[in-house]
Amino acid sequence: MKINKRTPICFGIFIVLFLMTVGNAAAAPLMITETQITTSGSASNTAIYEDKIVWQDSRNSGNDIYMYDTFTEKEIRITTSGSASNPAIYGNLIVYEKHGMPYPDEPWNISSDIYMYDISTQQEAQITTSGRAFNPDIYGNKIVWDGGGIYLYDISTENVTTIAEDWSNDDEFASSGRYNSNPVIYENWIVYNGNDYDDIFNGYTIYLYDISTKNETWIAYSGNEGFSFPDIYNDEIVYSTVGYGESGESGEYVYMYHISTQKETKITASGSATGPSIYDNRIVWRDWRNGWDHIELYMFDLSTNTETQITTSGSASNPRIYGDRIVWVDGNDIYMATLSYPTSPVADFSANITSGYAPLSVQFNDGSENATGWSWNFGDGATSTQQNPMHTYLFAGNYTVNLTVSNANGTDSKLATITVLAQPVLLPAFPGYTNPPTDLDQNGLYEDVNGNGILDFDDVVTYYDNMEWIEENAPLEFFDYNNNGLIDFDDVVKLYDML
C-alpha cells in the first residue's frame, strides 16, 4: 500500500501540541508530537511503514533513497546511483524508480525502471527492463507501477501481469485513447487513475481492480479537472477532486469510497483539500483554506467524526500516514507527527492475604495502569507512597484500604477490605466434653458450648447444666450473651434463640 510519496529525514527537535478537534461529537484533546526527521533541505517524496521512513534526497547532487529508523534513530543511505526517486516501502522491502539515459528519439524523456531493495539482506534487484516504468507501490509480495499501463509483479513467482493497458487512436478526425497512472495496492485491490478522451471529450476516472477476480470497475468519474493520486486501506479508498459532483460545486474536496457498500462519502467541506492519505480510521490531507500562504495538514477521524489541524507552519505538503504517525514535507525537509491521546490512570491492586489473625502482615501489589504516583491509606491511620508496600495490622478489625494513583492527566482510586481477627482464646472443655467451646461467627461470643463445631440444642442444655462452672472457669464476657455482666437464665434463652 502506498503510504508514502513526496517527503525526507534526520532526528531533530520536537514540539508537543495539544489541539482540540471539531466535529459532531466531543473528543479528548489529541496530543501531537512533531519531530523533524531531516535537515538536508533537499528531501522529498516520503513514505512510511511501521518504524521506517524512506524518501528521496538530492543532498549529493543527484537523487538517492534514504531511510530513517524511528526505533534506532538512525539514518541509512539506501542507494548511491544518484538517479533513484519515488520510493514506497512495505516490511523490509523498498521499491523505487531508477532513471537512466534519454531516449534517442525522445530526448525529453528519461528512461526509468523499477528496483527493489531488501533491507534485511542489503541487496538490490532490478524488477523492470522496459525503461518506461514509474510510480511504484508495494504490498506483501506484490509490486505495481505505471508506464504504458498498469502492471503487477509477483515477487515470489517473478511473473508480470498487465492490469490495464494504455491505448490511443490518433485518427486526425476522431482521436481517442486512455492513459492509466498512479497505482496503489492493498491486499487484492489495485486502485489507479484513468484519463479517457476523444476528439471532443476528456474524462477522468478512479479505477478499482480485483486481482482475485481480474475485474476492473470504475468507482469515481469527473468530466472536469480530474482527481489526485488515490490511496487505499482496508475497505476504503480516498481521493480528492476539483469541481466534482452532479451539483458542479467548485473547489477541491476529499472523498472516500467504501468498496463493500459501493458508496461514496464526502469527507471535507472546505473546498481547499487535496492529496489525501488513509490508514485505519484516519485520513490526512493538505488544505489551503486559510490561503495559499498558509497551507496546513488536517486529519479526519472516521471513528469519532472529528477533524483536527495537524500542522501550524503554513507550508506543509504531501502527507502520508501509518498507524499513529504522519510524515510530510516542509521546506524540503521531512517531518513526523506522532499522535496520542492523554491516558488517565486506572487504579487496581491485589493483596497476598485479605483476612487473618492479628498481627497480620499484608503485601500489597499494584496492578494499576498508566500510573506515575501511588498513595496508600491502610485504614488504620498508616499511609505509604510506595508502589508495592507491605503493612502490618496490629489489632483486630475491618480495615478499608484505599489506593489512589495519579499521572499528569488525573487520579483514580480503588478500595478493598482487610479483615483482621483477634487471636483465638484457648478455653477449657466443658465437663464431660473433649473439645473446648468455639466462637462460630467470630463475634466474641462462644455459642458452640460443647465444642462439636455446630450450634445445636445440646449447647443450650450444656450451658444450663454448667452455669456455675462457667462463672468459676471461663471469662464471663465469652458467655454473657445478653451482655448484662452476669451468667444467668436469660443467657440460656438468648442461646436458645440463636438456634
pLDDT in tens, 100-117: 865 566 666 789 999 999
Q: Determine which helix (DSSP H) or strand (DSSP E) holds 468, and give its type and residue range.
A: helix 467-473
Phi-psi bin for 440: left (phi > 0), alpha (psi -120 to 50), beta? Answer: alpha
Q: Per-residue pLDDT for 28 more than 80?
A: no
SS3 459: helix
SS3 313: coil
DSSP-derived secondary structure for 256-297: EEETTTTEEEE---SSBEEEEEEETTEEEEEE-TT-TTSBEE
| Cβ pair 304, 29 in contact under 8 A | no
Average pLDDT for 470-483:
93
What is the per-residue pLDDT for 199?
65
Q: What is the 3-state secondary structure (H, E, C) of 411-426?
A: EEEEEEEEEEECCCCC
Gap between the Cα atoms of 220 and 243, Å rounded: 13
**Which of these ranges, 150-164, 170-184, 265-279, has the smallest mean pLDDT?**
170-184
**Which of these ranges, 39-43, 130-134, 199-203, 287-291, has the smallest mean pLDDT?**
199-203
Q: Per-residue pLDDT for 139 more than 80?
A: yes
What is the per-residue pLDDT for 1?
41
SS3 161: strand
pLDDT in tens, 372-416: 999 999 999 999 999 999 999 999 999 999 999 999 889 999 999
CATH for 349-421 is 2.60.40.10
Domain map (residue ranges) of the chain: 14-340, 349-421, 427-499
What is the per-residue pLDDT for 59?
95
Residue with cell 472516521: 302
Gap between the Cα atoms of 489 and 404, Å rounded: 52
Residue type, 331: G
**Which of these ranges, 40-49, 287-296, 420-429, has the smallest mean pLDDT?**
420-429
Gap between the Cα atoms of 318 and 46, Å rounded: 8
Residues 6+ apart with CB under 8 A from 337: 32, 33, 34, 35, 310, 311, 325, 326, 327, 328
pLDDT in tens, 322-372: 999 999 999 999 999 999 988 899 999 999 999 998 999 999 999 999 999
Residue type, 313: S
What is the per-residue pLDDT for 462?
96
In the chain, the percentage of residues whose pLDDT exceeds 90 is 79
Q: Does residue 471 or residue 173 have the better pLDDT?
A: 471
Handedness of CA 447, 450, 456, 457 (dihedral sign): negative
pLDDT in tens, 238-282: 999 875 444 445 689 999 999 999 999 999 999 999 999 999 999
Average pLDDT, the chain: 90
Residue type, 117: Y
Whole-structure pTM value: 0.71
| Cβ pair 363, 352 in contact under 8 A | yes
Residue 172: φ, ψ to 5°? -65, -15
**Which of these ranges, 96-100, 118-122, 175-179, has the smallest mean pLDDT?**
175-179
What is the per-residue pLDDT for 42?
97
CATH number for 14-340 (one of 3.30.470.20, 2.40.50.140, 2.130.10.10, 3.40.50.300): it is 2.130.10.10
**C-alpha closest to that of 418 among 374, 386, 372, 382:** 382
| Cβ pair 49, 322 in contact under 8 A | yes
pLDDT in tens, 51-86: 999 999 999 989 999 999 999 999 999 999 999 999
Residue 359, preceding bond cis, omega within 30 degrees? Answer: yes
Contacts within 8 Å (CB) and 24+ apart, 220-227: 220/244, 220/255, 220/257, 220/264, 226/193, 226/195, 227/193
pLDDT in tens, 419-441: 998 877 789 999 999 999 998 88
Q: Determine which helix (DSSP H) or strand (DSSP E) holds 465, and give its type and residue range.
A: helix 457-465
Gap between the Cα atoms of 456 and 89, Å rounded: 81
Q: How distant, in Å, are the alpha carbons of 204, 208, 274, 311 from that of 295?
A: 26, 30, 11, 9
Grid coordinates given for 234: 482496508
Grid coordinates given for 332: 524540503
What is the per-residue pLDDT for 104?
60
What is the per-residue pLDDT for 117?
98
